[in-house]
Amino acid sequence: MKFLPIMPNSSTLLQRMYAFCKISQQYRQWNANILGKMASEVCKAQTAGPGGDTIFGKIARKEIPAQIIMEDDDTMAFHDVNPQAPIHFLVIPKKPIAMLQDAKDQDEAILGKLLVAASKAARKLDLKDGYRVVINNGRHGCQSIYHLHVHVLGGKQLGWPPT
């Protein structure tokens, strides 16, 4: 390990300070970009609320287009329009359920089908090295669209805790 001399000549010190500032500047820019994206998602979640039709309901009814990976009578998997990983798709129930806590006893089968559909779509996209499954629920869970949906993220090594 190399240590700074106690009294380095001024050019060496300036070079090291410049290199540190350059790295620090790049880190601050990267961090600002990440925090900006996170802040906008948090803002969406804080201003969204349950009730009414959603974009996912329109996708399920095929009123608006989506890059559909697969679907059956009860579920649909499609690519996220704002991916947070090389592969990022959503799985929704075709039945509108606003939040996980709104699911009833009779929704038990569809909740299981969401995870099975996530697994099938992940296999179809060759995510054999693994993936993350996430459900954002409510305002504090950062849910911005009030139609229950499962995020599936993969295609790279994901970190923990998520950022």
Report how many domains make up the chain.
2
Q: State the Cα–Cα distance between residues 101 and 98, nearest whole angstrom.
A: 8
Q: State the Cα–Cα distance between residues 24 and 132, nearest whole angstrom.
A: 31
Which of 152, 111, 151 is CA-nearest to residue 130? 152
Predicted TM-score (pTM) of this structure: 0.71
For residue 79, tell me if it sits in a domain. yes
Specify whether the CB–CB gap between 66 and 79 falls below 8 A: yes
pLDDT value for 81:
95
pLDDT value for 162:
79
pLDDT value for 84:
95
Active-site option among 79, 88, 140, 149: 149
94 plus 139 within the same structural domain: yes
pLDDT value for 147:
96
- The share of the chain scoring above pLDDT 90, in percent, equals 66
The domain in which residue 33 lies consists of 7-47
- pLDDT, tens only, 103-113: 999 999 999 99
- pLDDT, tens only, 25-77: 555 555 555 445 545 555 554 555 566 689 999 999 999 999 999 999 999 99
For residue 162, tell me if it sits in a domain. no
Q: Is 149 a catalytic residue?
A: yes
Alpha helices in 48-161 (DSSP H): 55-60, 108-124
